[in-house]
Structure 1
Amino acid sequence: MNPAYVKEIVLLANIIFFILRGVIKWRVVGVPVAKRRIGAVEIVLMMVVTAGQVVPLIWLATQNFAFADYSAHPSALIVGAMLYVWGLWLLHRTNGDLGRQWSPSLELKDDHRLVTEGIYRRIRHPMYLSLLIFAGGQMLALPNYVAGPAALVAMLVLIAFRLRAEERMMIEAFGDEYKAYRKRTNRLIPGLW
């Protein structure tokens, strides 16, 4: 398979991803924050996530990770591209449902409300799921043992450390309403977890 073709798919998916993330961030600029939790763990998590996003871009632009390249298999690229599309669609859908409630860190807005409609009717953390799906697509589409799984590893670390803290913050903010919501939904995967 033509390596330039693979790089074009990875680049296009990442451009769309960063545009969507920019739109998400733009929508919340100026929204007053009532409560923010940014400690050492949160800072390290943001550094890990940034590295997970930057390493594939370094692979695209340089030969720094060429030692870990392998031949791209067409079926892996096809499945990876499908996961890219699914992850991007879910990110877009989640953003639409979440609206101005989104934040890049653990924080609550002044007028924060618990979102339980749309995709949130079934799962509590669809944005994390969208990031996992996108990162899984990248792992399959990007034929490099370092850059391919970089985003997936970063997302798994983020979820492992942030999910419980985020749920605790939501319980503090919404109490029984969030506990009831938690009982009728799954964290990431409908019907499983």
Structure 2
Amino acid sequence: MNDPSCFTSIHEYYTFIYAISYMMLVELGIWIYNFKGWLKKSNKKNSDYGTILIVMLGCWSSFYFSTYFRSQQFIQIAGEILLPHAFYYVGLASILIGTTLRAYAVWSLRHSFTLSVKTGGNQQLVTTGVYRYIRNPAYAGTILSMLGNAFCFRSAFSPLVVLLIMAICYGIRIRVEEKALYECFGEEFKNYCFRSWRLIPLIW
């Protein structure tokens, strides 16, 4: 990620670094916000089963493979052919939009937000704003950001690998989370599922 030779100009390199820095700062803010909530020691039930570690490993792996594949000469040449230069800008837009979507989703949840899967207490089911359409906008934002990172490096294989990793990690996470939410909210959550999408409107 810190190799300017992966980009066509130093300007593109610094623009990419600014976009990644924005993503990192937002994520740091989210973790700090979550830590403040953890200090309050709420009586929420922890039903995470280690999925937060799975997601963290998935994000780290996505960063790693995006840079690893780009460093391989044959794959780099293939990327130049299969992913035109325009994909760099597609990647930048994906990072910025995905990060902003994640930040907005967390802000919408406010006190109901937790990094690990926790339910109970005075938690309410949020179904307004972006949550009216998709049940996991924060996850959708992260996936979009990780794909954006891969597109910026224009590796022919990175987007496919990142998408596979994210699908596995968040597939596990969403299954665990939806089970916990159904146990907490019952028919209210079931009805919400009927009128919303998990990650991508009209698709899934």
TM-score by length of 2: 0.77
String of CA shifts for 1:121-176, please: whole Å, max 9, x gaps: 11111111111221222221113357666644432221221111111110001111
Moved more, 67-76 or 131-140: 67-76
Structure 2 vs 1, CA of residues 155 and 9 (structure 1 numbering), >3 Å: closer, same or farther? farther
String of CA shifts for 1:87-139, please: whole Å, max 9, x gaps: 12211221221223222222236332211111101111111111122122222
Aligned residues: 188
What is the aligned partner in structure 2 of residue 69 from structure 1? 76
Instruction: Find the residue that maps to 2:169 and give its secondary structure.
Output: helix
Q: 1:93 aligns with which of 82, 104, 113?
A: 104
Structure 2 vs 1, CA of residues 123 and 16 (structure 1 numbering), >3 Å: closer, same or farther? same
Whether the 8 Å contact between 2:47 and 2:180 is mirrored in structure 1 is: no
Instruction: Find the residue that maps to 1:190 and give its secondary structure.
Output: coil
Whether the 8 Å contact between 2:69 and 2:155 is mirrored in structure 1 is: no
Tell me the distance in 1 between the aligned counterparts of 2:120 and 2:64.
29
Structure 2 vs 1, CA of residues 135 and 46 (structure 1 numbering), >3 Å: closer, same or farther? closer
Residues 1:123 and 2:134 aligned together: yes
Tell me the distance in 2 between the aligned counterparts of 1:16 and 1:153.
25
How far is 1:11 from its partner?
Answer: 2.2
Instruction: Find the residue that maps to 2:36 and give its secondary structure.
Output: coil
> Aligned letter for 2:123?
H
Whether the 8 Å contact between 2:120 and 2:184 is mirrored in structure 1 is: no
> Aligned letter for 1:99?
R
How far is 1:37 from its partner?
Answer: 2.8
Residues 1:172 and 2:183 aligned together: yes
Structure 2 vs 1, CA of residues 21 and 3 (structure 1 numbering), >3 Å: closer, same or farther? same
Whether the 8 Å contact between 1:27 and 1:99 is mirrored in structure 2 is: no
> Aligned letter for 2:76?
D
What is the aligned partner in structure 2 of residue 47 from structure 1? 57
Structure 2 vs 1, CA of residues 27 and 180 (structure 1 numbering), >3 Å: closer, same or farther? same
What is the aligned partner in structure 1 of residue 25 from structure 2? 19
> Aligned letter for 2:84?
H
Q: CA RMSD in A?
A: 2.7
What is the aligned partner in structure 2 of residue 36 from structure 1? 46
Tell me the distance in 2 between the aligned counterparts of 1:147 and 1:140.
8
TM-score by length of 1: 0.81
Structure 2 vs 1, CA of residues 20 and 151 (structure 1 numbering), >3 Å: closer, same or farther? farther
Whether the 8 Å contact between 1:7 and 1:142 is mirrored in structure 2 is: no
Tell me the distance in 1 between the aligned counterparts of 2:110 and 2:175.
22
> Aligned letter for 1:20?
V
String of CA shifts for 1:13-55, please: whole Å, max 9, x gaps: 2211111111112222232341113435654443233332455
Residues 1:7 and 2:13 aligned together: yes
Tell me the distance in 2 between the aligned counterparts of 1:6 and 1:107.
41
